[in-house]
Chain A
């Protein structure tokens, strides 16, 4: 063990490669946006993503024509894969905000090169989350009735319902994330504009950059607003995911009616969101050969965040078991035994292994250094979190208070099509971000380079 412990990265390990300078940084990253020939891997990835997106289109058409009976949801299990995946996607999106906002506030230097990937991921995942409840509405065309606008019907949404809180949280979250993203990317768009060689690209990025000049006054305003925005986004993301937890906690169903749900959900967001960022960062780094910008330092830091997430989640799991075992509530206990040893047991135990046991490997520096292992561990965490969301959504409904009311949930082909389709939507959006926006935060990495130089 001693060997692995001493091979820990030194505290002053380089954050970016020593050969990266201000000049090469801007040209490297901008050339990924401005290149005239898109690399083959991008076309292959984008093609697969669009194919999956078409699955979503077909699935939604069938769903809207036939009704949500095409899914496996029925009474007693009226919430199935779609709602579980809603929670799953919003957790993945939240991870982007956590890395971007929370670690901006703590001035973590590793955050600068990864935050754009995290934010692109967030903006790609949030629409997937938003689609789920809308698809789940019996009459999806009327979803706008949830907006608090003064309509001629004189009917208002029931704002005392946690489901409305959820809607308003997600809506505000997406809008705020777009503004947060844009405030951060504005200076980088100006760099791309100044490097563009063709007229069309100059005009396109010129308009997007809004005429940013990088004057002292502009930087002053941007920095102060961006800092306050980060300070707002951090509690915001905690509130969004906590309110998703409240949807369940406010229900009286055994297994859901638990005060730990808001933090429990947030812990899940920390680990699964970071896991997705690790995966995407490894792939982007490999695809765009950004080895100098995304170094061991970044993966080391992100793996540690993932490890902390898994420990927090382990705490939530212990409580998830302790509550039902300690309580005198028979239904609560029966439901837990069903969850852990009944129909959902395989999912339940494999999820614990994937999200808590396997990530313990990250204690070893050698594992944190190994990209392939990181990729596998984070992939496992994402799958494990999906299982976790499915288990708590369906297991509780399967074993409600009355034994006469018990039942089982089996996903249908269309349930799986929903999952595949939203993955397609996510990947399509992410590939577009990858191709058309600078994927590394230039302005912030420049500061890191200058700091490294003076070190």
Chain B
């Protein structure tokens, strides 16, 4: 017998999924996740109430590093490795280096944000058990799916099923791992 990944339930409205998630949280469940077609207001505070990912901090660090890198490339080229005297201008002419520094800073920041966003979400991950759930089919369109995972210590497939039914789920699936 294959192991269960969890039980997924499909809800018709953002309010329904919010209520259901709130109910699970208050009953002591921890390992559950919602799949929605757009970010539902307030759902993140119920499902991931912990500290937020450090993406802004990562992007800030990348900005500092990118600026340093950009300046260093120009300084090294113009003042150390291949100094050219143009009209007696200083080799380390920092005002002229500002554009390059600025652009490198932004490029590295965006790149760090992009890669960080994927890494923090565990992407790319082309396969995930939730894709097998019938209920998931419309989660990227117009339905709101809540999945209680088997990893939760309080998990019990039949009890969860009846709980979802009580919360007004339109379709309930057991998701194989």
A33: chain B residues at CB < 8 Å are none
Output the least CB separation between A129 and chain B (Å): 16
How many residue pairs link A and B with beta carbons under 8 A? The number is: 184
A232 and B109 contacting across the interface, CB-CB below 8 Å:
yes
With contacts A211-B123, A221-B120 known, is A180 near B110, CB below 8 A?
yes
Contact A172 B56 (CB under 8 A): no
Q: Is the interface of A mostly helix, strand, loop or mixed?
A: helix
Q: Does B165 sit within 8 A of A, measured CB to CB?
A: no
Asked if A206 and B126 sit within 8 Å, CB to CB, the answer is yes
Measured CA separation A236–B109 after assembly (Å): 12
Residues of B within 8 A of A243 (CB): 99
Chain B residue nearest in CB terms to A160? B96
Number of interface residues of B (CB under 8 A): 62
Are A168 and B117 in contact, CB atoms less than 8 angstroms apart? no
Interface of chain A residues 158 through 187 with chain B (CB within 8 A): 158-160, 164-165, 168-169, 172, 175-176, 179-180, 182-183, 187
CA A223 to CA B40, docked complex, whole Å? 12
CB contacts (< 8 Å) of B74 on chain A: these are 148, 159
- Mark interface residues in B81-114 (1 if CB within 8 Å of A CB, else 0): 1101010010001001101101110110111011
Known: A211-B126, A211-B127, A216-B43. Is A450-B14 also a contact (CB below 8 A)? Answer: yes
Chain B 34-59 residues near chain A, CB threshold 8 A: 34-40, 43-44, 47-48, 52-53, 55-56, 59
Bound state CA distance, A23 and B113, in angstroms?
Answer: 31
A212 at the B interface (CB under 8 A): yes
Q: Which of A160, A164, A194, A211 has the most CB of B within 10 A?
A: A160
Contacts A214-B35, A222-B121; A157 near B110 (Cβ below 8 A): no
Secondary structure dominating the interface of B: helix
User: Do A210 and B35 touch across chains, with their CB atoms under 8 A apart?
Assistant: no
- 25 residue pairs from A and B, CB less than 8 Å apart: A26-B37, A26-B141, A155-B82, A156-B82, A158-B78, A165-B103, A168-B100, A168-B104, A176-B106, A176-B107, A179-B111, A190-B140, A194-B140, A207-B126, A210-B123, A214-B37, A215-B33, A216-B44, A216-B48, A217-B47, A225-B59, A225-B114, A229-B110, A447-B38, A450-B38
Residues on A lying within 8 angstroms of B by beta carbon are: 21-23, 26-27, 148, 154-160, 164-165, 168-169, 172, 175-176, 179-180, 182-183, 187, 190-191, 193-195, 206-207, 210-225, 228-229, 232-233, 235-236, 239, 243, 246, 442-444, 446-447, 450
